[in-house]
Amino acid sequence: IMIKKMPIAAPLFCAWTALLVVPTMGGQTAWGQGNKKEELPTYTIAETVVEESKLAIPTSNTTGAKISLPLRATAASVGVVSQALVESQASSILGDALKNVSGVNVQTGFGIHDFFVIRGFDSLSSGLVLTDGAGEPEVSFYNLYNVERVEVLKGPGAFLYGGNPLSGVVNLVRKRPLAQNFAHINAAYGSFQTSRGILDMGMADVNRGLAFRLNALQQRSDNYRDDKDNSGFAINPALEWRPSADTALQLNFEYASSDHKPDAGLPVLGNRLVEVPRRRSYQSPFDFSAQRTYRARIDFSSRINKNLQVRHKFYYTDLDWRSRGTLLTGPPRDAQGALQLDQVGRTLTLLDDRQKLIGNQFEAVLDFRTGPVEHTLLAGFELSRLADEYKLEVAPLPAMALSAPVETASEPLFIIPNQAGDGRSLTLAPYLVERLILSEQYQLFLGGRLDAIDYEDAPNKIAQTFNKFSPMVGLVYVPLPGLSLYGNAGRAFAPPSSRGRGERRAEASTQFEVGGKKSFFDDRVHATLALYHLRKDVASDDGATRLRGAQRARGLEVELAAVPAPGWHAFAAYAFSRAELEDFEELFRIPRADGTLFEQPFPRSGQKPAFAPEHLLNLWTTRELGRGLGVGAGARYASRQFIAADNAFEIDGVLTLNAALHFKRGPARLQLNIENLTQREYETRGFGQTSVIPAAPRSLRGTAGWAF
């Protein structure tokens, strides 16, 4: 059945699997070392400049249990994307990296912030993004210039990270200061006048235990669509002091600016996309998006003795976001109420949002034994405060002709106040995670977190208290060397957003997952298989739209990483998912001329959620040819997917191909990346059911790097 529904991607996937697995059937690697604690690698300067740029099979993670664990000893599906893989694909933002993780569908939010779907559930309502283990306010483009790796914990993550991770947690692990002096510079230029410069440098005084690292980014682009230029700047200094081998203090600050023109896309009429040039813009001249983000982190860790370590993290994030964006609202009506199908209706939204998150995590990690059982216990307490002061307004815009658009909008605008709020939430949360090594074959994981949240929005006279416990249980079984089977069950919650109105209820999700992890051919091939059932109770109301019901997803995921031969690396990620809305109702509130609201409910039971395709496939391989020359190639397939819960318009499935060529000589590196090699035309997420954004055509990027 799957092959019939995916005639192009299924044969590719089968061939790729055969390529990786068949040569490995003759050998296995003992997994007896898996019960020993594995630490993440400590990099020296040579490894930073040279070795860290070499691809390797990921073997460990810290996001699954907040302690360093081998992936095969983790009772969950955790995807890891290394810096080397990011560099080989010339990835720039978080969404680029997430394409390498099974079960993640990558889109954008109006072309101005990251947006993705994990196991059929969107990141805004069901996901959580972390930077070095600390939560991030929504929403932004997360640049990868200072990221060492990206880890994705799939499934409910509230047992460690609190509210919001109903379907997954994405953790950006940033680069740390190193005990060496070095510098690495990259400059890139490509299609659509796109330029990007990156600096990564470090200095150290080993005698005093001091190390400093500076990462910086400057970028700009005209974009492939008309009037969609963008630019960005970021700088991230970090200082680490190690007074002894067992104690470390790190200070980290980051500033990032992002200036974009929002993209309303092309209008959708019912179940069809209008036939107009793909570069055409129906934006108003008033559109802009300006984000300024400040991040500060203070991390302290100390090993008291061989069995006890204490950790302390202070974090502060400040997001200032001002934007004006045009929304396409479908064909307008004339004075007689008839639809004008040759016109496109427009509305301008005006947002002024300031989010400040400040918090503190204190944790103790204790290793001990009770008889034959080895324990690793992590006990923590998190205190955080989130302030979200915002004002959302709308302004009507004159309609534009579809075929020959002429802008007639002018200032001053007739601005209609819509929503405003000043939400303040205080969270106190103790949490525990314990790993029990029962024997050579069995490991048990137990976890739970209790969140006590006090929320207040004085202007809207809202005051609420939430007390939610989020449990997790997991088991790892090792029947044979090189093979581990796992299972887990967990529950998560998400408090109402600051825009919530009416009956404000917390949402909840529950997941059951089983899987297996196998290494072949002396650890040169690693495979992961996961089967899951994830269900979320939906209860949201932002004043304009109310959603009630449930969403369910069941699926299968496969990830493969291999080194078929020296200098040859291959990665594959495939996901099959069946997502569905259950007992679901979508209610729209439409303003009347007299100021009252007309409520129109629509039943959506049995429909598919937006941007939840049944099939997702991602392939990437690189091969060193000798004399410093190397090549890379990849493919990505996404099957058909609806753009909204009404299931009226469906984006066609698409297969895109990418390629890369690089040359290294001493400290220099040259690289050429080509995306959408075959010039496929396809669409991505726009605004609800009324628009989609055409994807970029073939694009090229050349990169020159130098390591000192």
Of the candidates 102, 174, 49, 71, which has an alpha carbon nearest to the alpha carbon of residue 620? Answer: 102
Q: Can you tell me the distance from the alpha carbon of 282 to that of 43, in angstroms, rounded to the nearest whole number?
A: 50
Of the candidates 45, 71, 67, 68, which has an alpha carbon nearest to the alpha carbon of residue 56? Answer: 71
Please check the confidence at residue 346 and state whether its pLDDT lies above 80: yes
In this structure, what token pair is assigned to residue 627? 């004399």
pLDDT in tens, 196-225: 999 999 999 999 999 999 999 999 999 999
In this structure, what token pair is assigned to residue 623? 């091969």
Answer for the pair 519, 72: CB distance below 8 angstroms, yes or no. yes
Q: Given pLDDT bands bounded at 50, 70 and 90, which one contains residue 18?
A: very low
27-31, 94-98, 235-239, 571-575: range with lowest mean pLDDT: 27-31
Please check the confidence at residue 143 and state whether its pLDDT lies above 90: yes
SS3 349: strand
Of the candidates 150, 152, 145, which has an alpha carbon nearest to the alpha carbon of residue 64? Answer: 152
Phi–psi pair at 94, nearest 5 degrees: -55, -45
Answer for the pair 466, 451: CB distance below 8 angstroms, yes or no. yes
Of the candidates 64, 69, 80, which has an alpha carbon nearest to the alpha carbon of residue 160? Answer: 64
3-state SS of 530-591 is: EEEEEEEEEEEECCCEEEEEEEEEEEEEEEEEEEEECCEEEEEEEEEEEEEEEEEEEEEEEE
Burial of 677 (0-12, 13-18, 19+ CB in 10 A): middle
- CA distance readout (Å), 6 to 12, 235, 580, 681: 10, 44, 19, 18
179-183, 337-341, 406-410: range with lowest mean pLDDT: 337-341
The contacts found for 249-252 with CB under 8 angstroms, 24 or more apart, are: 249/298, 249/299, 249/300, 250/176, 250/177, 250/297, 250/298, 250/299, 250/300, 251/297, 251/298, 252/132, 252/174, 252/295, 252/296, 252/297, 252/298, 252/299
Burial of 244 (0-12, 13-18, 19+ CB in 10 A): exposed
**Residue in the structure block whose two tokens are 């628009």:** 691
38-52, 80-94, 339-353: range with lowest mean pLDDT: 38-52
Q: What is the DSSP pairing of strand 483-494 with strand 462-480?
A: antiparallel
Of the candidates 621, 645, 612, which has an alpha carbon nearest to the alpha carbon of residue 103? Answer: 612
Please check the confidence at residue 59 and state whether its pLDDT lies above 70: yes
Mean pLDDT (whole number) for 499-520 = 88
Structural domains of the chain in order of their starting residue, each with its CATH number: 2-267+288-707 (2.40.170.20)
Mean pLDDT (whole number) for 125-145 = 90
pLDDT for res 539:
87
Of the candidates 124, 19, 118, 33, which has an alpha carbon nearest to the alpha carbon of residue 73? Answer: 33
Q: Burial letters for 162-183: b for 16+ Cβ neighbours within 10 Å, e otherwise?
A: bbbbbbbbbbbbbbbbbbbebe
Answer for the pair 174, 313: CB distance below 8 angstroms, yes or no. no
pLDDT for res 540:
86
pLDDT in tens, 548-573: 999 999 999 999 999 999 999 999 99
Q: Given pLDDT bands bounded at 50, 70 and 90, which one contains residue 139?
A: confident
User: 199 pairs with which residues across the strands?
Assistant: 185, 216
pLDDT for res 406:
93
pLDDT in tens, 38-54: 343 333 333 333 334 58
Q: What is the DSSP pairing of strand 60-61 with strand 127-131?
A: unpaired
In this structure, what token pair is assigned to residue 173? 């692990």
pLDDT in tens, 243-291: 999 999 999 999 999 999 999 999 998 889 999 999 999 999 999 999 9
Mean pLDDT taken over the chain: 90
Strands annotated E in 275-342? 288-305, 308-330
pLDDT for res 49:
37
Q: Can you tell me the distance from the alpha carbon of 126 to that of 95, in angstroms, rounded to the nearest whole number?
A: 16
- CA distance readout (Å), 186 to 142, 241, 345, 671, 675: 18, 28, 44, 10, 19
Of the candidates 188, 194, 189, which has an alpha carbon nearest to the alpha carbon of residue 223? Answer: 194
pLDDT for res 19:
34
Cis status of the peptide bond prior to 101, with omega within 30 of 0: no
- CA distance readout (Å), 168 to 335, 390, 497, 511, 515: 48, 27, 18, 11, 17
Q: Given pLDDT bands bounded at 50, 70 and 90, which one contains residue 13?
A: very low
Higher pLDDT, 505 or 556: 556
Mean pLDDT (whole number) for 419-424 = 90
Of the candidates 397, 464, 474, 406, which has an alpha carbon nearest to the alpha carbon of residue 438? Answer: 474
Burial of 482 (0-12, 13-18, 19+ CB in 10 A): buried
The Cα angle at residue 229 between residues 225 and 234, in degrees rounded to 5: 135
